[in-house]
């Protein structure tokens, strides 16, 4: 085997190992992200993909994948690769093959969006952030490409079971529940738990911020959880 062929075989083996480890680690959160994504689409959201440099091609690929499904019978879902078009209640999907990308980070920091990030080893803060444990940007890209095809596939699985997309009351049970704040507007916070979101009043709890975990019941935040 020539040196180039040997190097290619090693890279393929490395890619398979990184991909297998990624899917094993992230399978549950990928499913939760798909559920949240399907709910956001069902509520009228648009997927806004963003990446720069080589990742810009992946952003365009994601948008085309959702807009033009390759399987007969799957619905076309609204998606663009234009961050400037993002609106509240849309879905922001950022792709970074390695290092930092300020344009992606700026998009994911906008309030009111469901945010999903795919990065190399350096994570970005998002509702669902997926890091690929490799310093080889080509391997990172290939793992991310597999992952966003999983997103596309499972979103359509959820659409085939519309009962899973119905609004669910997170805080309506007999006991208070813990949930994370993902957005705040005046005296109302948007909370998230297991991929579902709900708005709660926060007048009773002073100084809460995005990222805090709060104890909620019947649409009201009761206290911050350390």
Q: What is the CATH number of the domain that holds 151?
A: 3.40.50.10490
Examine residue 42 and state whether it is found in any structural domain, yes or no: yes
Distance CA 133, CA 182 (A): 26
Q: Are residues 217 and 140 in the same domain?
A: no
For the chain, the domain total comes to 2
Is residue 148 domain-shared with residue 195, that is, in the same domain? no
Residues 83 and 192 in one domain: no
51 and 116, same domain (yes or no): yes
pLDDT at 166 over 80: no
Q: How many C-alpha atoms does 163 have within 13 Å on its Cβ side? A: 0
**pLDDT tens digits, 131-140:** 999 999 999 9
Residues with Cβ < 8 Å from 27, sequence gap 6 or more? Answer: none
170 located within any domain: no
On the question of pLDDT at 164 being above 70, the answer is no
CA 140 to chain centre: 17
**Global confidence as pTM:** 0.74
Is the residue at 91 inside a domain?
A: yes
Residues 154, 33 contacting (CB under 8 angstroms)? no
Residue 172 falls inside a structural domain: no
Same domain, 8 and 120: yes
Largest CA distance in the chain: 70
Residue 201 lies in a domain: yes
Domain check: are 64 and 108 in the same one? yes
In this structure, the answer to whether residues 150 and 115 fall within a common structural domain is yes
Binned at pLDDT 50, 70 and 90, residue 160 comes out as confident
Which parts of 74-226 fold into alpha helices (H)? 102-108, 137-159
Q: In angstroms, rounded to a whole number, what is the distance separating the alpha carbons of residues 99 and 21?
A: 21
pLDDT digits (tens, 9 = 90+) for 53-68: 999 999 999 999 999 9
Q: What CATH number does residue 206 fall under?
A: 2.30.30.140
pLDDT of 18: 95
Whether residue 171 is contained in a domain is answered as no
- Same domain membership, residue 159 and residue 75: yes
Angular region, 55: left φ>0, alpha ψ -120 to 50, beta rest: alpha
Residue 56 within any structural domain of the chain: yes
| DSSP3 helix / strand / coil % (the chain, rounded to 5) | 40, 25, 35
| 172 vs 97, residue with greater confidence | 97
User: Could you tell me if residue 121 is inside a domain?
Assistant: yes
Please indicate, yes or no, whether residues 211 and 109 belong to a single structural domain of this protein: no
pLDDT (mean) for 119-125? 94
CB-based burial, 150-168: b 16+ in 10 Å, e otherwise: bbbebbbebbeeeeebeee
Same domain? 17 vs 84: yes
pLDDT at 167 over 70: no
Cα 149 versus chain centre, distance: 13
Verify that 201 and 108 share a domain, yes or no: no
> What is the extent of the structural domain holding 148?
3-165
Are residues 102 and 20 both part of a single domain?
yes
């Amino acid at each position: 085997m020539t040196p180039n062929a040997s190097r290619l075989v090693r890279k393929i083996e490395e890619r398979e190992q990184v991909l297998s480890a990624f899917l094993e680690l992230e399978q549950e959160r990928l499913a939760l992200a798909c559920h949240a994504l399907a709910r956001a689409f069902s509520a009228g959201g648009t997927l806004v993909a963003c990446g720069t440099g080589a990742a810009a091609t992946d952003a365009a690929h994601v948008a085309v994948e959702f807009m033009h499904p390759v399987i007969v019978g799957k619905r076309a879902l609204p998606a663009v690769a234009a961050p400037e078009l993002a609106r509240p209640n849309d879905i922001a999907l950022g792709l970074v093959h390695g290092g930092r990308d300020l344009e992606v980070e700026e998009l994911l920091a906008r309030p009111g969006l469901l945010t999903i990030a795919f990065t190399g080893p350096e994570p970005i803060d998002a509702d669902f952030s997926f890091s690929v444990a490799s310093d080889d940007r080509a391997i990172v890209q290939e793992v991310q490409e597999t992952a966003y095809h999983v997103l596309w596939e499972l979103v359509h699985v959820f659409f085939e079971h519309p009962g899973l997309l119905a609004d669910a009351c997170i805080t309506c049970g007999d006991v208070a529940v813990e949930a994370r704040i993902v957005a705040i507007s005046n005296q109302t916070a948007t909370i998230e738990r297991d991929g579902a979101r709900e708005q709660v009043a926060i007048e009773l709890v002073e100084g809460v911020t995005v990222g805090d975990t709060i104890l909620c019941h019947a649409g009201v935040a009761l206290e911050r959880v350390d």
